[in-house]
Structures are given as structure tokens and as C-alpha cells.
Amino acid sequence: MPDDPADDLQSMSFGSSDRSAYETVSSTSTGSGSSSSGPIKPHSAGDPCFDAVRRLRSDGGGGTLALSDMRFVQRLGSGDIGSVYLAELKCSGGEGCVVAAKVMDKKELEGRHKEGRARTEREILENLDHPFLPRLYGIAENERWSCLLTEFCPGGDLHVLRQRQPGKRFDESAVRFYASEVVVALEYIHMLGIVYRDLKPENVLVRSDGHIMLTDFDLSLKCDGPTTTAHLISDHNPLPAPTSSAGSASASDHHHHPAASCILPSCIVPAVSCFHPKRRHRWKLGRRGNASGLEFVAEPVDLRSMSFVGTHEYLAPEIVSGEGHGSTVDWWTLGVFIFELLYGVTPFKGSDNELTLANIVARALEFPKEPSVSASAKDLIAGLLVKDPARRMGSTMGATAIKRHTFFNGVNWALLRCAVPPYIPAPFSISGSSRDVSDDSSPGTPVEYY
């Protein structure tokens, strides 16, 4: 953000405890954004931060929480639409309840036409209820700032954690652990009609118990209406071909484009489509005439976008080539994600962004000779990094096909939260971490992420 909000945050958190009439936060316990009391989401039950927020709202009268009820400790990092701060809730019995507060400048968002992204992230977070996705405690706003209060993850992100590993890469058992939790998180948001579009190690945080949390949904594609119904399919029959967007996403996501256009110069990437035409499939019937290997799959097959969004090294070919994209871009990014965790580099990185994009579209996948990686891991990556989205692993059966892959043999999908994490962060304490939020160069930052 161009303007450092430290001065405003300083007055909010360290000034008078008087409550400003316009500094309020709505509880998200009902998932609707309403400030009224409601049932706790199942995966949030027993969270002390939710209890602290409810007490603060109750003590404040009117069911609102003032920004002065939070003590902003330090900045954790900055993104395209806001800065994230470590904040402590100030209430009796709530000592030590810390949250990650994403602070956004409303005027800046309006000036840069980013209000839609901020709104999308807020709407998505309000509806999530999953052990590997963020818990939204509240949404604080005043005349200038909008602030999302989410769960703080003391383990940092997987990018920083990978840098600390021998050889700056994870072993296969650790990769299997993290990838399996990412798969089920993606499966869940796909069923909600959401395409994540920004999977990368920097956006996978490590909770205090060692399990993961996907974060940063401002680039996600969200359909406001139903995207699809559950489909009864088999390995030999794909989901129906995508049509025009069934619901509304952001304005830039549902404009009609008369023709696909590649963002790369024609001297690097040919103007023709780099994908094969879709082939028709038929049911494969068993002896009794029933389709074999039937599975229920819910994927947002009607949700399509022409937007160019994401991180260069993680962009799917259909995004680069302007072919239009849907939920299968998340399976491509999963392949890049697993490749990077195993090898310490991404598979198509070039000397600059333009060459990286050209490699994504035109260069064949190659595996480094070192380190030694199992055949099953390579096979999974190769299946996910198929350039034609219609042939990519996950395009037909969604997460089901990925879960079945031999790389995940031995994973108990129903009991992922019972699995022992490869890394558990040291206990985090807010004591000793307090400092002026404007002092962003102080050593001893308790966690490196964002």
C-alpha cells in the first residue's frame, strides 16, 4: 500500500479506549456477515478468539466491536490490496488471543479499482467452514479502513519453511502430507463454486498444530449463483463441457470475448490453440448395463473466466493463452506446487516473466536429475501438468481422481487431521513481540510469512 497505515493504526490501538461510533465489526459466527448472534460454525466451535470477539461485542453494547478493542502489534507483510498485521484482542479473559488483521485502504482500493477483489475475498471468507481454510472472526471498518480479522498461523508459510529444509526442499512424506491437505481444501471450495487461482507455497500457512491453512482469496473466482449440480460420472465420462458463466463473478471475469488472444508475442507462441480439440466420450457399461466406477462429483463446470490473474510461475497454459479457464487451473497449480516442494524450483521458470510464460505454454515438462524422486510422484506431477485442461488430471473426476493416485497411497483422507505433521511450530507467545507497528525493520519478528 502506498500509504503506510501505521499512524492510523497507532491511534486506533494505542489511543483512548473510547469506542468510536463508526468503528464497528460484524461477527461472522453465522457465516452471513450479520452482527447478530448465531450458531458457531462446526469447525470453529471452541475457538477462544471467537469467544473473545463475542465478549467484546457484548461488552460494547449494540453488538459491535471497536477497532480500539484491538492492539496492533506488528506488520506481518503486505499484499496487492492490503497489509497484514498481528493484532491482539483486548478483553477480560482474552489475553493472548491474537489474530491476523488484513487492513485495506478503501480510498486506495477505489482508486485502483480493486474494490471487487476485496469484496470477493470477504464474501468467500464469510462462507468458509473447513479445517484447512481460514476462520473469519469479524470485519472491522471505519471511514478509511476495512479490516478482515482472521486466524493467525504462527508456523509461517511453506515458502519460508522450504527455505529452511536441507537442500531447500521437502522430502516426499512431507510433500504428501501438505499436498493431501491442499487437495481436500481445493475440493471443498470447488464444491462452493469457487476457483482459487492463487495456490503457491506463500499462500499455504502452517497452523500451531502443524496442519495447513490456505489464505489470500482476493484473486479467487466466485459464482454468485449455482454453478452445477452433482454429477454421476465415471473415469470414462467427463463432466459436461463448460458453457458461458452461469453466475456473476467480478466484472472483469464475465465480459464476453469474441476470440481468445494469447498475451505472448506470436514469435514465441503460435496463434493457434495449443490444446487438442475436445473428444467425445461415452459411458463404459458393465455386464449388467450399469456404468462402472461411478462417482458423485461437484465441480463448478459452468464457471469460466478470461481474466489474466495469478503468479507467473504458477499460471496455467489456458490462462496464458487466453483460452478461458475454470476449476482445472487449480489442479495445474497443484502440480507446480508439488514440483516446487520436491525440487526447490518451479518447472517452467525462465530468465524473465515473458520467457516463463512461453515455457508454460510451449515447453515440455522435464524433471531434474537431482534429487531422486519416486516414479509415483513424477507421474502425479505429469498428470497435473498436462497443458490441455480437458485432459488434465482432475478435469473429469475432480479431486477424486487425484486422491486415488498411487502417490497418496496410505493417506487416510477421512482422518487427515489426525495425521502427524512433519513440522510443528514452537509455542507462540505475544509477550516480547509488542512494538510500534510503524517500526517494520525491528529484528525478532516472531514469524516470517505473507
Determine whether 3 is exposed, middle or buried from the number of CB atoms within 10 Å of its CB (0-12, 13-18, 19+): exposed
Q: C-alpha distances in angstroms, 380 versus 293, 301, 367?
A: 20, 22, 12
CB neighbours of residue 354 within 10 Å: 14
| Amino acid 144: pLDDT | 84
Angstrom distance (rounded) from CA 294 to CA 140: 46
Summarize the confidence of residues 141-145 as an average pLDDT.
Answer: 81
Indicate the domain borders of the chain. Answer: 6-151, 158-418
Least confident interval from 197-206, 398-407, 428-437:
428-437
Angle subtended by helix axes 328-343 and 375-384, to nearest 10? 150
Contact call for residues 179 and 173 (beta carbons, < 8 A): no
| Amino acid 303: pLDDT | 54
Please name the residues in contact with 280: beta carbons below 8 A apart, sequence gap of 6 or more: none
| Amino acid 251: pLDDT | 39
Nearest-5° angle of CA 89, CA 90, CA 91? Answer: 110
CATH 3.40.710.10 for domain 6-151: no
Angstrom distance (rounded) from CA 383 to CA 332: 9
Amino acid at 270: P
Please name the residues in contact with 213: beta carbons below 8 A apart, sequence gap of 6 or more: 132, 133, 134, 151, 153, 204, 205, 206, 207
| Amino acid 142: pLDDT | 78
| Amino acid 81: pLDDT | 86
pLDDT, tens only, 312-327: 899 999 988 888 788 8
Angstrom distance (rounded) from CA 15 to CA 59: 19
pLDDT for residue 412 is more than 80:
yes
- Rg over alpha carbons for the chain, rounded to the nearest Å, is 23
Angstrom distance (rounded) from CA 133 to CA 197: 15
| Amino acid 89: pLDDT | 82
Q: Is the peptide bond before 238 cis (omega within 30 degrees of 0)?
A: no
pLDDT for residue 244 is more than 50:
no
pLDDT for residue 436 is more than 60:
no
Residue 433's nearest CA partner among 185, 85, 122, 77 is 85
The larger pLDDT score, comparing residue 212 to residue 59, is at 212
Please identify which of the residues 105, 157, 198, 218 carries the catalytic annotation.
198
pTM of the entire structure?
0.77
Residue 284's nearest CA partner among 242, 239, 240, 233 is 233
Q: Residue 382 is inside which H or E element, if any?
A: helix 375-384
pLDDT band for position 226 (cuts 50, 70, 90)? low
pLDDT for residue 42 is more than 60:
yes
Q: Is 379 a catalytic residue?
A: no
pLDDT for residue 262 is more than 60:
no
Given the candidates 1.20.1070.10, 1.10.357.10, 1.10.510.10, 3.40.630.10, the CATH classification of the domain at 158-418 is 1.10.510.10
Q: How far is residue 424 CA from its own chain's centroid? A: 21
| Amino acid 238: pLDDT | 47
Please name the residues in contact with 331: beta carbons below 8 A apart, sequence gap of 6 or more: 186, 384, 392, 393, 394, 395, 402
Least confident interval from 35-49, 228-242, 296-310:
228-242
Mean pLDDT of the chain: 75
